[in-house]
Amino acid sequence: MTKVCASITTSVDGYVTGPDDGPGKGLGEGGERLHYWVFGGPWSYDAEREGAPGEGLDGVEKEYLDAAFARLGASVAGRNMYEAAGHWGDQNPWGVPTFIVTHRPAEQPEGDAFIFVDGVEEAIERAKAAAGDKDVSLSGGADVIRQALAAGLVDELSIIVAPVILGRGKLLFQGFDHDIELTPKGVRQSPLATFIDYEVVTKR
């Protein structure tokens, strides 16, 4: 059965970006440290990076990404994430049907690299239909994950905690007031991140 799996990286104090995030600076000021685990070490917006995200990883990081991609059938992301990532260079980075949640679906670019959808529920419904017997990845941003959790649409939640305290930026659960039970599935750790997996039990 297709599952909806939400995953996102936070700082120890719960921020998913530093301040002033936006195009060309998708993780905000100082937010690059959240994704050191994706690149296998330090990187910055201003320095050239060799290889794609996830390329050349080993250990816990490779294990996590290999498992996620093995079961990936479709992806859902928010418009803010799409814009902050610079549209991923107008190239779908996952190679599966990818649905972008937006209030302006008519602005979808030409082609089918990204499919613009008005609303989280419709996006997840269409992603599940497109995923076949694989899973739907809900990669963020935080607002999309909050909406999906509040609507009872998430089956598994993975929170990746980077070893940094940002102090400001965007919080994962800012303003969230729903009571949701989680069952721990496992914890994996590396010097760059702690990977915590949960099954969502009570969905309201």
CA distance 75 to 130: 9
CA distance 103 to 98: 16
Cβ(43)–Cβ(36) below 8 Å? yes
Per-residue pLDDT 10s for the chain (204 aa) are 899 999 999 999 999 999 999 888 889 999 999 999 998 899 888 875 555 555 667 789 999 999 999 999 999 999 999 998 889 888 998 999 999 999 999 999 998 899 999 999 999 999 999 999 999 999 889 999 999 999 999 999 999 999 999 999 999 999 999 999 999 999 999 999 999 999 999 765
pLDDT of residue 49: 57
**Longest CA pairwise span in the chain (Å):** 44
Strands 170-171 and 15-17: antiparallel
CA distance 123 to 1: 18
pLDDT of residue 89: 86
pLDDT of residue 137: 97
Cβ(172)–Cβ(17) below 8 Å? no
pLDDT of residue 203: 60
pLDDT of residue 54: 58
pLDDT of residue 143: 95
pLDDT of residue 23: 85
pLDDT of residue 56: 64
pLDDT of residue 128: 97
| Residue 154 CA neighbour count, 13 Å, CB half | 30
Residues 6+ apart with CB under 8 A from 83: 22, 23
C-alpha torsion 108→109→111→117, nearest 10? -20
Give strand pairing partners of 17. Answer: 170
Domains in the chain: ranges and CATH: 4-43+50-200 (3.40.430.10)
CA distance 165 to 172: 14
